[in-house]
Structure formats: C-alpha cells, structure tokens
Copies of this chain bind each other. A is one copy, B any other.
Amino acid sequence: MKLASLRGPGRDGTLVVVRRDGAVFTPAPAEFPTMQAALDRWDESEPRLRDLASRLERGEIPGEPLDPQKLAPPLPRAYEWVDGSAYINHIILVRKARGAEPPETLRTDPLVYQGGSSVLLGPREDIVLHDARWGLDFEAEICVILGDVPLGTKKEDAHRHVRLLCLANDVTLRNLVPGELAKGFGFFQSKPATAFSPFAVTPDELGASFRDGRVHLKLVSTYNGALIGDPEAGPEMHFSFFDLVEHITKTRAFGAGTILGSGTVSNVDRARGISCLAERRMIETIDEGAPKTPFMKPGDTIAIEMRGEDGLDIFGRIEQKVVSP
C-alpha cells in the first residue's frame, strides 16, 4: 500500500491512497483525514486503507491524477524525527573530512541524533540557501515510520512496529557542523528542514527486498541531472532498522508517527558513487590532496529515488532545487 499527503487544508495535509504506479490517488476515509490520524489508530485504519488501495489497483475506483507538486511530505510535521548513521563507510569518510576520529564504539553502538520535526519539506520543495558559506549538502537516506514503540523493545520484536517506509533528503550545512559538534550537544543549526519522498509505503510493497531490517535495493541520487550515486542500501547498513529501534528505546518509548532514518547510504565500492557531497569531497582529498567539488549553490538540483526489483518507482522522486532567499 502506497500513501501520501496532499498539502492542506490543515497543517497535517490530507491523507490519500496512491495507485502502485503513482499516477492516481483516492482520498482516505473521512475518519482518517491525515497520515497522523491513520498512524494513531493503525489497527483500524490499515484495513480500510488497504481496501481502498486494492480497489484503486483493480480500477474499481478511477482515482484522480496525482500532481507531485501538490504533495506535502507523508507526515507534514512529525512528533519525532530520529536519524541514525548506520553506514560505517559514511561515518569514516565524513569524520575524516572534518579531521575527527570515528568513535571507538563505531561497530557496537549506533550513532543517532534527534532532528527537528515541526517543519518538514515536501518532495518538490525548494531548499532555500540563506548563506552560501554554510556549505549546503544533501544526504540521501531511507526511513521507517513507526507505530507506538514501547521502552525496551528488542530488535527481534522491532519489525512489529514498522508501519511504513519512505526516503529522505537530510539536508546538512556542513560548515556549521564542526563548531556545533565541538560544543558537545550534537547537531542543531547544521540540520535545517529535512525533505521526504512523495510516498510512504507499507513494508510488503518492497517484498523480499525488505529483510532483516534493511532495504536491499539501490538508492539512486541524481545531482544536476547526472547520476552521482546508486549504492546498495542493504549489505553495508551495519546497524539495521531493528538494531536502531532497540537502541533508541533503551530508555524511552516512542509515539506513533516517529520517523527513524538510516543515515546517508554509502558503499565502500567507489563505483557506486556517493549519497552526499561530503563523501565525494573527502575522496578527492584522499586522492588529490584537496576537495574540488563545491557544496550546493542556487540553481543546483538533487533527485533521490529507489526502484523495486520489478523496476517500479517505489517512493516517488524527491526533486529539489536550491534557491536564494
């Protein structure tokens, strides 16, 4: 099942069920006007939404043409946006880029940070760059959207709490990171609003590609019209989404609608390219002594997407342009 949120009329948008090909939608039942409402009562909403999805697929409901420009992120605002950093290759490269050592617990203790979630960006919203010196970068990621998750959830049980998956562009202001991390409290100003894919889909939409808490498909990033990365998202995700759920629930519970990110998808094999400019700049530094790829500037575009084994565009494309204020 494929879900999306149209912008308006309220702050939480309007929940719609989308046909697998992404071309048409039908509104969700009135009892579940928003994605958050559906997640709050998933036991009731899921069968109703699945029924609509089946009828839409079979052509029993004609559906209305979907205009991606009118989409909000699946959750226009969320009660929690927690982002992991589960790809070891990314951690090593990015820390090297800022002259920092990887933490000693690199392979045993997941890195996560708490992101801001009251203002999130839709899949076609511009990224406004207020100061070019901030060093604007994209980060292509996969996310799960969780139901209620109790404190102390073990990784073996984590799959029960995964309601949906989507993609994210975890926009980062690289030049604000070192100063911020030096203060010891983690990212804040260096993480402006995050953008999300058009669609959030139930795990069964990925079939066997979603297994062991990992998505075994390529995450494709296109920068200024050229392919810049298509890493395999599965094998090198050192901590699976299930590991991350166990980690984050050690000392507290999470409410329905929590978004949990994988961190930037990254492969050791350089032929797979990159999912953020910081990695490319570090590779250039290693090979040539200095970075030559600049950070993003007004006019630049970034697209992020993922296709299933059957070639179908699963989440729709994130397509954003950098603009001046």
Contact = CB atoms under 8 A, between A and B. Distances in A.
Contacts of A185: 85, 111-113, 181, 186-187
A92 to B, nearest CB: 13
B190 A251 contact: yes
- Taking residues whose C-beta sits less than 8 angstroms from the other chain, chain A's interface range is 35 or more
A100 B182 CA distance: 12
B189 A187 contact: no
A116 B78 CA distance: 11
Interface string A154-194: 00000000000000000001001001011111111111110
Contacts of A11: 40, 255
Contacts of A115: 114
A109 B183 contact: yes
A115 B79 CA distance: 11
Nearest to A193: B252
Contacts of A182: 103-104
Oligomeric state, in copies: 2
B77 A255 contact: yes
25 contacts: A10-B40, A77-B79, A77-B255, A79-B79, A79-B118, A80-B116, A80-B117, A85-B185, A103-B182, A103-B184, A105-B179, A105-B183, A111-B184, A111-B185, A114-B115, A118-B254, A118-B255, A118-B256, A128-B151, A130-B152, A173-B251, A186-B187, A189-B247, A190-B251, A191-B252
For the complex of A and B, the 9 pairs showing the least CB-CB separation, nearest first, are: A186-B186, A118-B255, A79-B118, A114-B114, A80-B118, A113-B185, A192-B252, A192-B251, A103-B183
